[in-house]
Amino acid sequence: MKLTTDKKILIVGLGLLGGSYARALVKKGYYVTAITRSRSSIDYALSENIIVKGASFVDPALVGEADLVVLALYPHVLIDWIRENQHLFKPGTVITDVTGVKGMIVDKIQTMLRTDVEFIAAHPMAGREVYGVQNSSDAIFKGANYVVTPSEKNTEDAIELCRDLGETLGFARVSSLSPKKHDQIIGFVSQLTHCIAMTLMTCQKEENLQDYTGDSFRDLTRIARMNDEMWSELFLLNKDALLHQMTLFEGELNRLRCLLETDDVEGLRDMMRYSTERRALFDKKAN
Amino acid sequence: MKLTTDKKILIVGLGLLGGSYARALVKKGYYVTAITRSRSSIDYALSENIIVKGASFVDPALVGEADLVVLALYPHVLIDWIRENQHLFKPGTVITDVTGVKGMIVDKIQTMLRTDVEFIAAHPMAGREVYGVQNSSDAIFKGANYVVTPSEKNTEDAIELCRDLGETLGFARVSSLSPKKHDQIIGFVSQLTHCIAMTLMTCQKEENLQDYTGDSFRDLTRIARMNDEMWSELFLLNKDALLHQMTLFEGELNRLRCLLETDDVEGLRDMMRYSTERRALFDKKAN
């Protein structure tokens, strides 16, 4: 099933990511509506013409007319929202999300969901350290990755629709992973990196360190500005995978420590060359 | 002693950093010459008018006319260069460097140097992952830090001249640290961050990881492209300080691990809030 422009799209939770979805979809000619708690976010989105209708409460009319619902909510809010409002979906509605962990969520939602609608999870790997629809921009999808995480309960139709959404939004690469594999990888590329950034930021009480700082330290700690509510939740939802990745990292750091302690110049240079070679794979692709 | 435009400045080692010095100084009206091994680098610099004279060998005339010599060389090359060529300096010449570690170097050089010239060390905290004079640009100094590392052997005159060089180059902030304190701080903000980036890059053999990567991982591994000759040398020259910083980081990472293992949401959120607050200090200052 392709995402054609006759589909009505409802975004629930109009923050940075929800707002960026709205902007990208409206540009492509879609009918986009939104539900979010803050009235001023709705007013802003209406004034920017990135939604055609909106409500700061769960408006049954908006939910009932939607063919595709994007839930851009925190994990625990997401599950409650579906539990409380799933009776409002029209039959055949496809529901997707933007959550950064999948294992716990996909299973919980698919187990409790009505059987005449379908939940297909996705993780748009884009974001910034600022919040709110006022800071939203579809430019954040450029060069970024979008991962669909189907379970064995999903249909080919819904998977295709969800992949198509990722392409329509302008992501550089759309791929699929099982929820479990997704969480392992995210435990590494996203969660472990945030753990490292916050650890770097807090392990030293040295005063005036900022006067002696180069770009390396700034780069490694850009993401040390964290939404503590969201990240503590994401970490704990993916605790086992994250702890495993931490162990792998600590083991390799210890290998590096041994190379240093034994003055093993060739070992150090080998590791640096391997690092350099491998890093080349990760350059952002142009769209 | 101010760095006035009647001073003749010789740059030895015309790579990315040396070339960027030349560009910045020529813009401000200085007489700049260069000595570097590669003839094509000299030719390029002459054609770009960023030096007035240059040689691909140690030309006694160029060394002998210089009031200020900037040695932009690898640590071990730097010390050999001074040992072999110090007889060519004219009396009163001030010599500075760009090396990323100071303890070992400052002492070695000041001990062997002629008493009628002076070595004052400095660390321009600017760079890129590309090499050579062809990639040089004085824009790399914008918003960056420059640290002078005087020892008790340095005169006020030379220290002032060296600070003035940093300001003339366009650094946002010029400060002073003892060589020892510098090495401690650099062990943290620069060397430990490189260790972390290369460890992140090499601890996972997962295939196609790049398809599932967000900006966080890209940011934390930008510096994982390393000049293995230079960095292995810098790490080992500062081994004790670096190992100490590694221990601090590992201890804090272990604290985070314990918070996760015990589901300590409040502890996690406290650490994230402290990280967020502290990170605000490190935003790049506009010049």
Candidate from B198, B209, B228 with C-beta closest to A189: B209
Q: Which segments within A25-84 are labelled E, that is strand?
A: 31-35, 53-55, 68-71
According to the model, what pLDDT value does residue A76 have? Answer: 86
B74 touches chain A (CB under 8 A): no
Helices B103-112 and B179-186: crossing angle in degrees, nearest 10, is: 150
Q: Do A225 and B201 touch (CB under 8 A)?
A: no
Q: Do B220 and A219 touch (CB under 8 A)?
A: yes
The pLDDT tens digits for A120-130 are: 999 999 877 77
Summarize the confidence of residues B99-104 as an average pLDDT.
92
Cα A53 to Cα B85: distance, rounded to the nearest angstrom = 77
Tell me, rounded to whole angstroms, the distance of Cα B116 from its chain centroid: 27
Residues 6 or more apart whose CB falls under 8 angstroms from that of B226 comprise: A272, A275, A276, B194, B198
Contacts with A175 from chain B: Cβ below 8 Å = 211-212
Contacts with A217 from chain B: Cβ below 8 Å = 188-190, 193, 282
Tokens 């997704």 correspond to what residue? A182
According to the model, what pLDDT value does residue A54 have? Answer: 98
The count of CB pairs under 8 A between chains A and B is 262
Q: Which segments within chain A are labelled E, that is strand?
A: 8-12, 31-35, 53-55, 68-71, 94-97, 118-119, 122-125, 145-148, 173-176
Cα A186 to Cα B184: distance, rounded to the nearest angstrom = 33
Instruction: Assign B85 a pLDDT band (cuts: 50, 70, 90).
Output: very high
Q: Please say whether the beta carbons of B235 and A259 come within 8 A.
A: no
Summarize the confidence of residues B206-235 as an average pLDDT.
90
**CA dist list (Å): A282 to A190, B164, B223:** 14, 40, 12
Summarize the confidence of residues B27-32 as an average pLDDT.
97
Which of B101, B196, B239, B247 has the highest number of chain A CBs within 10 A, making it the mutation to test binding with A?
B196
**Which sign does the torsion angle of CA B208, B212, B217, B222 carry?**
positive
For chain A, residues classed under CATH 3.40.50.720 are: 8-177
Q: Please say whether the beta carbons of A100 and A186 come within 8 A.
A: yes
Q: What is the DSSP string of B83-127?
A: HHHGGGSPTT-EEEE--S--HHHHHHHHHHS-TTSEE--EEEE--
The pLDDT tens digits for A142-151 are: 999 999 999 9
**Which sign does the torsion angle of CA B74, B80, B85, B89 carry?**
positive
Q: Do B201 and A265 touch (CB under 8 A)?
A: no
How distant is the Cα of A20 from the closest Cα of chain B, in angstroms? 16
How distant is the Cα of A281 from the closest Cα of chain B, in angstroms? 7
The pLDDT tens digits for B141-178 are: 999 999 999 999 999 999 999 999 999 999 999 999 99
Instruction: Assign B108 a pLDDT band (cuts: 50, 70, 90).
Output: very high
A133 touches chain B (CB under 8 A): no
Token code pair at residue B195:
């260790």
In which order are the strands placed within the sheet that holds A31-35? A53-55, A31-35, A8-12, A68-71, A94-97, A118-119
Which of B76, B147, B148, B193 has the highest number of chain A CBs within 10 A, making it the mutation to test binding with A?
B193
What ipTM did this prediction achieve? 0.85
Q: Please say whether the beta carbons of B20 and B141 come within 8 A.
A: yes
The pLDDT tens digits for B53-78 are: 999 999 999 999 999 999 999 988 99
How distant is the Cα of A97 from the closest Cα of chain B, in angstroms? 17
Contacts with B210 from chain A: Cβ below 8 Å = 281-282
A99 touches chain B (CB under 8 A): no
Nearest-Cα residue of chain A relative to residue B173: A211
Cα A250 to Cα A246: distance, rounded to the nearest angstrom = 6
User: Amino acid identity, residue B172?
Assistant: A
Instruction: Assign A209 a pLDDT band (cuts: 50, 70, 90).
Output: confident
Token code pair at residue B183:
């090495």
Q: Please say whether the beta carbons of B269 and A229 come within 8 A.
A: yes
Taking phi over 0 as left and psi of -120 to 50 as alpha, with beta for the rest, B208 belongs to: left
Tell whether pTM > 0.95: no
Flag whether pLDDT at B286 surpasses 70: no
Summarize the confidence of residues A166-180 as an average pLDDT.
96
What topology is assigned to A182-282 in CATH?
A: 6-phosphogluconate dehydrogenase C-terminal fold (1.10.3660)
Q: Do B127 and A188 touch (CB under 8 A)?
A: no
Cα A165 to Cα A95: distance, rounded to the nearest angstrom = 12
Q: Do B226 and A280 touch (CB under 8 A)?
A: no
Contacts with B275 from chain A: Cβ below 8 Å = 197-198, 201-202, 224-226
DSSP structural state of residue A189: I
B80 touches chain A (CB under 8 A): no
Tell me, rounded to whole angstroms, the distance of Cα B164 from its chain centroid: 17
Flag whether pLDDT at B129 surpasses 80: no
Query: In this structure, are strands B145-148 and B122-125 parallel, antiparallel, or unpaired?
Result: antiparallel
Summarize the confidence of residues B215-232 as an average pLDDT.
92
Taking phi over 0 as left and psi of -120 to 50 as alpha, with beta for the rest, A268 belongs to: alpha
For chain B, residues classed under CATH 1.10.3660.10 are: 182-282
Please count the other Cβ atoms lying within 10 Å of the Cβ belonging to residue B220: 26
Token code pair at residue A53:
């209708």
Residues 6 or more apart whose CB falls under 8 angstroms from that of B251 comprise: A203
Lowest mean pLDDT among A36-45, A201-210, A214-223, B250-259: A201-210
Lowest mean pLDDT among A21-25, A201-205, A231-235, B80-84: A201-205
* CATH superfamily ID and name for B8-177: NAD(P)-binding Rossmann-like Domain (3.40.50.720)
Residue with more model confidence, A282 or A245: A245
The pLDDT tens digits for A67-112 are: 999 999 998 899 999 999 999 999 999 999 999 999 989 999 999 9
Summarize the confidence of residues A201-226 as an average pLDDT.
88
Cα B172 to Cα B180: distance, rounded to the nearest angstrom = 23
Token code pair at residue B278:
């502290």
Summarize the confidence of residues B8-18 as an average pLDDT.
97
Token code pair at residue B17:
């950093």
User: Amino acid identity, residue B131?
Assistant: Y
- Chain A residues 15-54 with a CB less than 8 Å from chain B: none
According to the model, what pLDDT value does residue A210 have? Answer: 84
Contacts with B251 from chain A: Cβ below 8 Å = 203
Summarize the confidence of residues B128-143 as an average pLDDT.
90
Cα A10 to Cα A63: distance, rounded to the nearest angstrom = 7
